Structure formats: structure tokens, C-alpha cells
Amino acid sequence: MKQWTYMHPEFQYLNLLEDILNNGTDKKLFLTPEVQKQYEEQGEELPYIRSSIGRQMRFDLSQGFPLLTTKKIFLRGIIHELIWFLNGDSNIKYLVDNDVHIWDEWAWKRYHKYCLENCPEKDMNQEEFIQKIKDESADSQFVQEWGELLTIYGRMWRKWPASDGRKIDQVQWAINGLKKRPYRKSYVVSAWNPEYIYEMATPDKQREIPPFCHTMYHLVVTEENKLNLLLYQRSGDMFLGVPFNIASYSLLLLMIAQVTGLEPGHFIHNLGDAHIYSNHFEQVKEQIQREPKPLPNMNINPEIKEIDEFNYEDFNLEGYDYHPPLKAKIVNVGGF
């Protein structure tokens, strides 16, 4: 393996990519019949993954904001998605209105499947579907029904459905606790809710969305009142998804540190199955040859003191110098 002369924080990620590429285990993917048909119609081979189990990266936020520099990262999408999560929202309308299309396919796929089985004449392609979501009001019947993902992080973070009918706000509970008793070890926010996951889900809650990849995060205060965030991610798409996750949870750490009056410490990223999709191999080979540039700095409006008050305009990234983008197709593996 290449030996780096300077341990820029991004080399953790690049070294992990290289190790998976050279030493990982190849595994078949579970793909729904609909997805398999798409590959067949396009004349493409079915992708597989090359993975490594149980990996970790650690980013000290005093060294800069860990937005990868060896390719351009879509920060606007990261910020809007995180605000969406923190709003407890589970409908893609907010994202679509802000031209962030990370979750488009999951909503459209459910509508498309319903139409094929029940009303083919009402079917539309993904672009038409998203345009309809954008054109209609948030309270329209179409948006309420078909823009709704239901099983999504924000709902579980902020509106976890309790058996007695309550909506539990895990994020605010953790923030309140960090303010009063910062050294407690129990501030965990979980998205893993079996009632919403594949065959375990009750019939009215089933969705063909993969069960929460970033399963849970743990907020821990260490010496000098430094707040650290430890993420457990059960499944990590190393080329497309993980760079987003690194930046998103680092930003979440900065936000929670600000509203609790603590100092940001480390973001510690634990990966269960860290993998590279086979149709990303060439892009990964290109990326690991690139030298990282200095990390940028993230400035947050210091006037914001409550987690619900953040807006997109409250974030300002400075000094982001990056290599050209590297594009690749997302592999849609939802279903059961």
C-alpha cells in the first residue's frame, strides 16, 4: 500500500478505499426484480460490492471541516438534507423545492410500482413525478401521499412513534441532557426501528427503502468540555455515500456543540460493512491517486442557539479547494 509522508485527515478515507479495493471481499447484491430488469434493458452487468467489515475513521474538527477535497462534494445538498432531518420531516417536498434530489428515486419507485399494479394509465417517469411534487402545494393529496417516505432519519430522530402515541424527540432530549449533565454516557440517538424495517414492519408501514444505514449516533463529552460524535453506520457506500456522511455528521456535531455551549471535538465514524460498488472501481482508482488539499473551515451563524432555528443561510464554508468531480451511478437496492 502507498505510504503517505503527511497524514492529512483525508488520507484515512483514501487509505480505506485503497485497502477495500485491493483486499476486500466480493459479494453479490440483493436487487429487486424491477431493478434487475432496468440493468437488463440497458445491457449492463449486475453490479456487486467489494467490502471490508468493521472499519473506523476519526476526524478532529479543530483541524478543519472534513469535506473531502479529492473530489468536489455537494455541500448544498448535505446542508439541506440535514436541516430536513432536523425538522423531523419525512416528505421529500422540502428537498425537491430546494433542488436537492437525493431521495427522489425512493418516492417515485413506490408510486411507479403502485401504478403498474393498479392504474398503468396514471404512471409517469421519475422526472415527471418530481416535477409534479414541485408544482403542487405541500398540503396537496398527491404530495402528502406520494412524497412521503415514512421510514426516514428525521422522523426517527425527532418524532419516534412510541407505543402510547407520543412522538419522542431524541435530539432535543440529548441536547437538554448535554446542557444539564454533559458527562453522562447515555446520549444516543437511534434510527433503528424494527416496526418500519422490511418483513418486521407492520403492513401499513412497509416501504421499499433500505433499513437505516446510519443506524445510531452517540454524543459524548470529554475533557475541556469537548463534544464528540460517534456514528455507527451499518452499511457504507464508500465512494458516493460516505463522503456525504462524513460531512453531514461533522456538521451536526458543530451544530449541537454550538447550541449546548460545548467545544466541538472528534467525529468518529464506525462502519459495519464498508464497501465499493463494482461500477465505481475506476472512479475510486482515480481518486486515490489525488493529493488532498487543505481542509476548509465551516462558519456557523453564532446567533443561533436552538437546534430548530438553523437555516441554510446560517452556514458559510471558507477555503474549499478541491479536485474535479468524479461522477458515478447510484445503485438502487431497495426492496424485500
Answer positive or negative: Cα dihedral of 296, 63, 304, 168. positive
The pLDDT, as a whole number, for residue 335 is 53
> Are residues 78 and 226 both part of a single domain?
yes
Of 211, 181, 165, which Cα lies nearest the Cα of 173? 181
Cell of 59: 476526524
Residue 132 lies in a domain: yes
d(CA 250, CA 266): 8
Residue 46 lies in a domain: no
d(CA 188, CA 171): 9
> Are residues 250 and 270 both part of a single domain?
yes
pTM for the full model?
0.94
When divided into structural domains, the chain yields a total of 2
The pLDDT, as a whole number, for residue 73 is 97
> Are residues 311 and 162 both part of a single domain?
yes
> Are residues 74 and 97 both part of a single domain?
no
> Are residues 70 and 175 both part of a single domain?
yes
CATH number for the domain harbouring residue 170: 3.30.572.10
Place 4 in a pLDDT band, splitting at 50, 70 and 90. very low
12: alpha, beta or left? (left if phi > 0; alpha if psi -120 to 50): alpha
Residue 306 lies in a domain: yes
What secondary structure letter does DSSP report for 48? E
Q: Which residues of 258-267 are buried (b: 16+ CB within 10 A; e: fewer)?
A: bbbebebbbb
The pLDDT, as a whole number, for residue 317 is 98
Q: What range does the domain containing 107 cover?
A: 91-149
Residue 5 lies in a domain: no
Rounded average pLDDT over 108-122: 93
Catalytic center residues: 213
Residue with cell 420531516: 89
pLDDT tens-digit profile of 205-244?
A: 776 666 789 999 999 999 889 999 999 999 999 999 999 9
Give Cβ neighbours of residue 11 (< 8 Å, ≥ 6 apart).
Answer: 4, 292
Residue 168 lies in a domain: yes
Give the phi and the psi of residue 101 in degrees, each rounded to 5. -120, 30
Of 197, 242, 191, 245, which Cα lies nearest the Cα of 218? 191
